[in-house]
Amino acid sequence: MKSDLITSTQSTDILSAAFLIPNVGAPFVIGLAVGYFSKKMLRLALFVGGGAIVLMFVSEYYGFFTVSDASLQHATNVAIETAQSSGNFLVNRLSSITGKGVSSVAGFYCGLKMG
């Protein structure tokens, strides 16, 4: 009788490790990893993109070709829209991991801060 009471109490205790680890801890870690990776890849993309823009400016200076400011701004706007849509996709996907999705999205934002 006493063991049934303990088992019953553990299954309804929301502060127990058996409830918190799969429902809060694991989604948080998944979101943390995705956020950290996203931030690192964004930094790498900005580094490579900035290098490409500098190379274009240098080639324009030496007369290899000309760079239109309007086309450069258009390419930047397209890149920004792509980054925003991929960020929204990641947040939507992470929010579907658990019922509420709060811990995975919180982990994602923490990963972005850490990265």
Which of 88-101 are b and which e, b meaning 16 or more Cβ less than 10 Å from the residue's Cβ? Answer: eebbeebbebbeeb
pTM of the full predicted structure?
0.69
Delimit the domains of the chain by residue range. 31-114
pLDDT, tens only, 26-37: 788 888 898 899
pLDDT at residue 81, rounded to an integer: 93
